[in-house]
Homo-oligomer: A and B are copies of this chain.
Amino acid sequence: MTQATRRERDRAATDREIRQQARALLVSDGPAAVTLRAIARELGITAPALYRYYSSREDLIEHLRADVCADLGADLGSGLADLDESDHVGQVLAVCRGFRRWALAHPQEFTLVFASPSPPGVYCPVSAQEQVRDSFGRIFLTVAGRVLANGLPITRPDHEVPDVLVADLTRFRDDLLLTITESGVDIGADQLGVGTAYVMLQFWVRLYGQVALEVFGQFPFPVTDSQPLFESMLADLVRDVGLD
């Protein structure tokens, strides 16, 4: 069955434990507490041993980011499972609400993944960076695919999209198409034009803005209960995009 030798299994197990402990420290005490020595201490080993698994602390943190994203994706996916498959708008709402709930419940992880200055490295199509987000981005895209496949008019006339953006947005559109068809949803190019990609981008901007403001407490006034504020914004968002 498992072709892995015992060495390999041991190694994988230790690796899991390391990331698990790192994650626990991140959640309980914030990113600054994710310390090689602390992790090692919890695992009953010494700090230098960790260098057999990661080349540096930064390297470990990078993998942690990926783990966090995967978990977020799984979280969103499971929230989706309970829903009626044909309720596309409901799925969109569920994903948005799930994203917010997760961000508020895991502010440290959110900060790590979504609010850390982008590494100087270039954004190349198949980079680790993109793989990272894909595990949760895929959920967004899958849901978007279902909605689009049903002909819901999430769109905007292509000619309204500024010329300078067309090239980038076309690439985004193609990427979307690929991801969506890969996830088993059939969709035609006529349902996913540049205008649609543009609207989806704006959707993301507003959702991200709202959630980040909430996590960072940067609203311009004291908010007694941010839940209805989010719901209100979400309703506007869904309406502005033509989903209702």
Count copies of this chain in the complex.
2
- Nearest chain B CB to A196's CB is how many angstroms away? 13
Q: Tell me whether A82 is interfacial, beta carbon within 8 Å.
A: no
In the complex, which of the residues B125, B208, B217, B236 contacts A222, with contact meaning CB atoms closer than 8 Å?
B125
Known: A162-B228, A162-B232. Is A137-B220 also a contact (CB below 8 A)?
Answer: yes
**Quick check: A215 and B117 within 8 Å, CB to CB?**
yes
- What is the CA–CA distance of A153 and B200 in the complex, to the nearest angstrom? 28
Q: How large is the interface on A (under 10, 10 to 19, 20 to 34, 35 or more residues)?
A: 35 or more
- Nearest chain B CB to A1's CB is how many angstroms away? 39
Stretch at the interface among A6-14, A46-54, A83-91, A166-174: A166-174
Residues on B with C-beta less than 8 A from A165 are 228-229, 232
Known: A117-B107, A165-B232, A228-B164. Is A213-B220 also a contact (CB below 8 A)?
Answer: no
**Quick check: A206 and B209 within 8 Å, CB to CB?**
yes
- What is the CA–CA distance of A218 and B224 in the complex, to the nearest angstrom? 29
Closest to A198 in B: B232
**Quick check: A213 and B224 within 8 Å, CB to CB?**
no
**Quick check: B225 and A172 within 8 Å, CB to CB?**
no
